[in-house]
Structure 1
Amino acid sequence: MAYQALYRVWRPQTFSDVIGQDVITQTLRNAVASQMTSHAYLFSGPRGTGKTSCAKILAKAVNCLNPHDGEPCNECEICKAANENRLNDVIEIDAASNNGVEEIRDIRDKVKYAPTEAKFKVYIIDEVHMLSQGAFNALLKTLEEPPENVMFILATTEPQKIPATIISRTQSFNFRRISRQDILDRMEFILNDKKIEYDTEALNIIAASAEGGMRDALSILDQALSYGDDKLTLKNAQEVTGALSNEQIVSYMTAIADNNPAEALTNLYQILASGRSALRFTEMIIRVCRNLILYNSDSDLTNQMDKSIMTKELLAIADKFDNQQLFNIVDQVSATQKNLKNSNQTDIYMEILTVKISEPKVKEIPKETDDSSSGVGSEAVDKLRDEITQLQNTVKNLSTGTVTKEKAPKKTHRKTTNARLNKTAIYKVLSNATKKDLNEAKDIWPDLMSMLSITQRAMMKVAEPVAASADGIVVAFDYEMWFEQAQDDSEFLKELSNNAGRLLKKDCQIVLVPKADWPKIRKEYIDNNIDLSNQGNVESKQEPKKKTDPTVDEAVKLFGDDIVDIKND
């Protein structure tokens, strides 16, 4: 027999097999035992939480020839036929592919016929929210006045899309996410039954990745076992789920705690290069911060910590964080997650996030006061001064592009940016710009980036060449903040231009511009048709040279402008 996935082999066959839905299964079991079942049910909840399994068990239980306390026996002919999907009176319909009015009308026409083998004819409609409005209307009358011995079980992950008129005619059950402990227990039971070796930490990672879905957990477990040749190890689980190793998260959080953006960016690049998901990475940061907050709270909340995350190495750096800093990190990460879901530039958002949460926070220097009158000992004052000096030195060392400078007030920000623009150099490039030069600039761009330091590379990842001539390249920045930082660093600009010239084997000047301003600057140049070959300063009030007719130009060249008299019609 062909191999079957774990979630199919271990699909629940009785209500007692269903994990994490005790209230629902007990209610259904009692209804079957007392023969007080409804004609229509609505099972809603997240994927993989047991909706379809409960629907199949209920269909068996109401038709079982030898039920016991509301449970199907799984031994009679009816139960065996249902388990083998050959019971004609249990009809499963996928509403995603059968969502039209005609399909539902076909059901409405057939429900009036009595069951052929079982006591009840049961219709299980999965993903019922996918039905069209017309199909819902066709189903409505049947649900309101169903024929005898007919049962409808509707299953959905999005109950808000189902009309209220449908919901009011059903018994509704809301399936909840399965707890991590329940998922762990189930996976341990399965692995012990199959006599497979496993690492408990690996099971913890899989349970966390499943996000409350038993089917997802078993699918991931199946994949990890295949990857590890029927042996479950921590490394296998991390590779399959994309989860971070303890060493990776400890190194990253240590750099954040030490306010070391360069080290944090290095760790980030290593994590992303190992194939880890940026979204999964941000989820891990939030979970770590949550556990650190609980640990720092000095209360009974420490019992709620996730022991699989809070390793000895993380606990060792817990005192480097205060709760206010952890709250800020969570806010920044949450904001980044929204951008990650709607962007292809995940690396850039992760770099900006890393710099934001790791850059040093310079404390406000208190005014000098008399130590004796303030009650502060000289030892404490000296310690504070040493700390301030150390922070100032750190900021100085990181000034090559790591620490974001304080933003100017909004009302003067645009003026400051305009002052930083070197329009003369930009127009000079535009006057001789060609497509060939731009393509050459784009070709050497990856090599140019590899010649930069880690922090410089992070800053330039949000920039790209937009125009080029034989002796210059215009580079546009996605974010004005990074443009200002690069433009104010003359040493960096000089290094960038020298490296570009080395790669292109000619003198080359790099000119920077914010991407938001680039269309306007380019339009200004095109409208004025500025010819820099005759102009030393573009921004002077010299009259720009206007376009002329090529025929007139040729006549002037042949006969001289003192002979040719140009008249406008």
Structure 2
Amino acid sequence: MTYQALYRVWRPRSFVDVVGQSHITRTLQNAIVQEKFTHAYLFSGPRGTGKTSAAKIFAKTINCERSPVKEPCNECDACRGIQDGSISDVIEIDAASNNGVEQIRDIRDKVKYAPSAVPYKVYIIDEVHMLSIGAFNALLKTLEEPPKHVIFILATTEPHKIPLTIISRCQRFDFKRITQHSIVDRMQQIIEAEGITVSREALEAVAISAEGGMRDALSLLDQAISYSENEVTIEDVLAVTGAVSQNAILQIISSIYEKEIQQALQLVDHFIQEGKDPGRFVFDLIYYLRDLLLYQSAQGLGEILERAVLNDTFKELAERINPTWIQEAISYLNECQQEMKWTNSPKVFIEIAILKMADIQAGETDSVFDHEVIQRLEQKIIHLEKELNNLKENPPQGSSQPSAPAPKRNQSRATKNSYKVPYERIRQVLSEASKTDLKAVQENWARFMDVLKKQNAPAHATILNSKPRAASDKALVVAFRYEIHCSLALDHKQTIESLIADTVGKELALIPIPEADWQEIREDFVKKQRQQEAGENGDLVEEDPVVTEARKLFGDDLLEIHDQ
């Protein structure tokens, strides 16, 4: 067989050819030039990012006849012998098939022998995480204190499976996924050298499908070249990879967002009939929506887009589509992706996800409308409360304030919701409350809300605009914006109390109260407490008007009074 795959022909032979890992190649080059390289290295990272290639280049560079140099000359006998595998002092071992104790013991016995052709003997152990526990134990002592002429380079895609005792004896280098831009540039160099015509869109599609691996990109490019006729086009790449073009993804997202359900379902049916991979289709949709969301958040993030190509059509869709809709859509597609793992009919789940995504539009519009209405009502309520307070403080001449506010409160409550505020229980909580208990709840409130949203969305919607106001060792007073929310919170009382116990670390009974009633009962409690303290001191001191006004504006929780 005379033909060699592109990834074999264009495998890096110098550090400069290793794409996207400059943070590693520069460190290794400086260590070689300064002759400060160590006895053991661990190269970890995704597949096809250059781990084994970098190990082999490192072995050539330290053994090059011109060493110390930053790059191997690839011309001397040592470089050529290591490259073609004719020098036995550089040993590549596949740990997947040589993972027993015997193989490692054989290495341990042979490391003491000096190299025969080059200054350093290098052991490159690929997929080292496949070694057995016994093999790792046999390697420990040798890896820590090998002879001066021996260097170990361990390569793995799963470093978490390697014992910490091995990792601590190595210098670790983490190879990262190669960016799409770097992959496209490297493939452009290769096709120019090979004399192959490939469109820019096709190269970008290959880079997207490669998911950060240079070897995968060259394998896909090789396959697309074989599939095409004279020029490799975007259609050839999509046919080989089973992916969907950006225009098609954009079209289906736009159709779903505009609630053109018939067109969206027809497009999905067309893709499946063409033989597109359903899992790949959902994957592409999720990442395209992710790119839209990132671009909307910060337009300078164009370089980290995973699936989208930054063109005018993409920018127009990003301006038109709602960010909240995108977040909901990604959640539905993620659920679809999970369900597809256990079914033989993935198309059905894709269609269900599309119908759910189409329904988001109406819900989002209603929620925005409700939010605007609620804001206007809140402003009116605040305005009315201010006028009522002014009337209480400065009543019109000829009229008098009601001497018994309690019946008035009961009368107004009778006309509202059926929820009855448990005043005695709340007063009991206030008498036993402590700032430490309340602070413990407030510090964990955001985490509690996140867990509640994931486990019980209706309960989360009910308690969304609430605030913990007072807490004792056994109970928690939560203030709600409207009285109806107190009744709804009691419907989910068991769930809410259970999650509060899990989050805070102790069981607390939930006591809902409308915000307006909370302000009233708190002021009444503080007033009585102040009168009691004044009675104990033997004199009654009238409070400074400035302090009174500050207490109204900021509340007692934020107010600190210092005597001068």
Query: 1:79 is aligned with what amino acid?
Result: C
Q: What is the CA-CA distance between 1:107 and the residue it aligns to?
A: 0.9
After the TM superposition, which residues 65-104 of structure 1 pair with which residues of structure 2 at under 5 Å, given as runs? 65-67=65-67, 69-104=69-104
Matches of 2:157 and 2:362, distance apart in 1: 45
Q: Deviations over 1:482-510 (max 9, x none)?
A: xxxxxxxxxxxxxxxxxxxxxxxxxxxxx
Secondary structure class of the residue paired with 2:362: coil
1:361 aligns with 2:382: no
In 2 relative to 1, CA 343–139 (structure 1 residues): closer, same or farther, beyond 3 Å? Answer: farther
Name the residue aligned to 2:268.
268
CA contact (8 A) 1:67 1:73 kept: no
TM-score by length of 2: 0.61
Name the residue aligned to 1:216.
216
Name the residue aligned to 2:163.
163
Q: What is the CA-CA distance between 1:261 and the residue it aligns to?
A: 2.6
Structure 1, 340-349 or 271-280: larger mean CA deviation: 340-349
1:326 aligns with 2:333: no
Q: What is the CA-CA distance between 1:235 and the residue it aligns to?
A: 0.8
Name the residue aligned to 1:292.
292
Matches of 1:67 and 1:224, distance apart in 2: 41
In 2 relative to 1, CA 306–50 (structure 1 residues): closer, same or farther, beyond 3 Å? Answer: closer
Q: What is the CA-CA distance between 1:247 and the residue it aligns to?
A: 4.5
In 2 relative to 1, CA 239–111 (structure 1 residues): closer, same or farther, beyond 3 Å? Answer: same
Matches of 1:315 and 1:35, distance apart in 2: 51
1:203 aligns with 2:199: no
1:237 aligns with 2:225: no
In 2 relative to 1, CA 75–230 (structure 1 residues): closer, same or farther, beyond 3 Å? Answer: farther
Q: What is the CA-CA distance between 1:210 and the residue it aligns to?
A: 0.8
Name the residue aligned to 1:116.
116
Q: What is the CA-CA distance between 1:164 and the residue it aligns to?
A: 0.6
Matches of 1:27 and 1:13, distance apart in 2: 17
Matches of 2:299 and 2:35, distance apart in 1: 51
In 2 relative to 1, CA 108–329 (structure 1 residues): closer, same or farther, beyond 3 Å? Answer: same
CA contact (8 A) 1:204 1:308 kept: no
Name the residue aligned to 2:337.
337
Q: Deviations over 1:408-443 (max 9, x none)?
A: x99xxxxxxxxxxxxxxxxxxxxxxxxxxxxxxxxx
CA RMSD of the aligned region, Å?
Answer: 2.7
Q: What is the CA-CA distance between 1:295 and the residue it aligns to?
A: 5.5
Name the residue aligned to 1:553.
none
Matches of 2:137 and 2:178, distance apart in 1: 34
Matches of 1:303 and 1:37, distance apart in 2: 34
CA contact (8 A) 1:14 1:72 kept: yes
Name the residue aligned to 1:142.
142
CA contact (8 A) 1:91 1:122 kept: yes
After the TM superposition, which residues 400-439 of structure 1 pair with which residues of structure 2 at under 5 Å, given as runs? none
Name the residue aligned to 1:182.
182
Matches of 1:25 and 1:332, distance apart in 2: 42
Matches of 1:271 and 1:135, distance apart in 2: 49
Name the residue aligned to 2:133.
133
Secondary structure class of the residue paired with 1:81: helix
CA contact (8 A) 2:302 2:310 kept: no
Matches of 2:301 and 2:9, distance apart in 1: 39
Name the residue aligned to 2:42.
42
Query: 1:327 is aligned with what amino acid?
Result: Q
Query: 1:108 is aligned with what amino acid?
Result: R
Q: What is the CA-CA distance between 1:219 and the residue it aligns to?
A: 0.8
TM-score by length of 1: 0.61
After the TM superposition, which residues 432-511 of structure 1 pair with which residues of structure 2 at under 5 Å, given as runs? none
CA contact (8 A) 1:198 1:233 kept: yes
Secondary structure class of the residue paired with 1:35: coil
Matches of 1:318 and 1:76, distance apart in 2: 56
In 2 relative to 1, CA 235–357 (structure 1 residues): closer, same or farther, beyond 3 Å? Answer: same
Q: What is the CA-CA distance between 1:337 and the residue it aligns to?
A: 2.0
Q: What is the CA-CA distance between 1:294 and the residue it aligns to?
A: 4.9
CA contact (8 A) 2:308 2:314 kept: no
After the TM superposition, which residues 383-402 of structure 1 pair with which residues of structure 2 at under 5 Å, given as runs? none
CA contact (8 A) 2:35 2:68 kept: no
In 2 relative to 1, CA 63–253 (structure 1 residues): closer, same or farther, beyond 3 Å? Answer: same
Structure 1, 253-262 or 270-279: larger mean CA deviation: 253-262
Q: What is the CA-CA distance between 1:108 and the residue it aligns to?
A: 0.9
Q: Deviations over 1:155-195 (max 9, x none)?
A: 00000000011111111111111111111110011111122
CA contact (8 A) 1:100 1:134 kept: yes
Matches of 1:303 and 1:115, distance apart in 2: 47
Matches of 1:292 and 1:70, distance apart in 2: 42
Matches of 2:276 and 2:137, distance apart in 1: 47
Matches of 1:198 and 1:116, distance apart in 2: 47
Matches of 1:296 and 1:19, distance apart in 2: 30
Q: How many pairs were matched up?
A: 371
Matches of 2:74 and 2:46, distance apart in 1: 27
Q: Deviations over 1:181-220 (max 9, x none)?
A: 1111100111111222111111111111111111111111
Q: What is the CA-CA distance between 1:284 and the residue it aligns to?
A: 2.2
User: Can you give the 5+ residue segments of structure 1 that lack an aligned partner in the other structure?
Assistant: 368-372, 375-408, 411-569
Secondary structure class of the residue paired with 2:49: coil
Q: Deviations over 1:514-566 (max 9, x none)?
A: xxxxxxxxxxxxxxxxxxxxxxxxxxxxxxxxxxxxxxxxxxxxxxxxxxxxx
Structure 1, 263-272 or 133-142: larger mean CA deviation: 263-272
Matches of 2:168 and 2:295, distance apart in 1: 47
Secondary structure class of the residue paired with 1:16: helix
Matches of 2:262 and 2:245, distance apart in 1: 21
CA contact (8 A) 1:104 1:139 kept: yes
In 2 relative to 1, CA 311–23 (structure 1 residues): closer, same or farther, beyond 3 Å? Answer: closer
Q: Deviations over 1:381-400 (max 9, x none)?
A: xxxxxxxxxxxxxxxxxxxx
Name the residue aligned to 2:488.
none
In 2 relative to 1, CA 106–291 (structure 1 residues): closer, same or farther, beyond 3 Å? Answer: closer
Q: Deviations over 1:77-106 (max 9, x none)?
A: 111111111111111110001101111111
In 2 relative to 1, CA 277–64 (structure 1 residues): closer, same or farther, beyond 3 Å? Answer: same
Matches of 1:17 and 1:3, distance apart in 2: 22
Secondary structure class of the residue paired with 1:91: strand
Matches of 1:213 and 1:109, distance apart in 2: 36
Q: What is the CA-CA distance between 1:326 and the residue it aligns to?
A: 1.3
Q: What is the CA-CA distance between 1:68 and the residue it aligns to?
A: 5.8
Name the residue aligned to 2:64.
64
Query: 1:205 is aligned with what amino acid?
Result: A
In 2 relative to 1, CA 301–27 (structure 1 residues): closer, same or farther, beyond 3 Å? Answer: closer
Secondary structure class of the residue paired with 1:153: strand
Matches of 1:128 and 1:70, distance apart in 2: 27
Q: Deviations over 1:41-92 (max 9, x none)?
A: 1100111111000100111111111236332111111111111111111111
Q: What is the CA-CA distance between 1:283 and the residue it aligns to?
A: 2.5
Matches of 2:347 and 2:58, distance apart in 1: 48
CA contact (8 A) 1:125 1:153 kept: yes
CA contact (8 A) 1:244 1:281 kept: yes
CA contact (8 A) 1:288 1:309 kept: no
Q: What is the CA-CA distance between 1:260 and the residue it aligns to?
A: 2.9
Matches of 2:261 and 2:291, distance apart in 1: 23
CA contact (8 A) 1:46 1:213 kept: yes
Q: What is the CA-CA distance between 1:286 and the residue it aligns to?
A: 2.3
CA contact (8 A) 1:43 1:155 kept: yes
Q: What is the CA-CA distance between 1:322 and the residue it aligns to?
A: 1.5
Name the residue aligned to 2:153.
153
Q: After the TM superposition, which segments of 4 or more aligned residues of structure 1 sit over 6 Å from their partners?
A: 302-307
Percent identity between matched residues is 49
Q: What is the CA-CA distance between 1:305 and the residue it aligns to?
A: 6.2
Secondary structure class of the residue paired with 1:361: helix
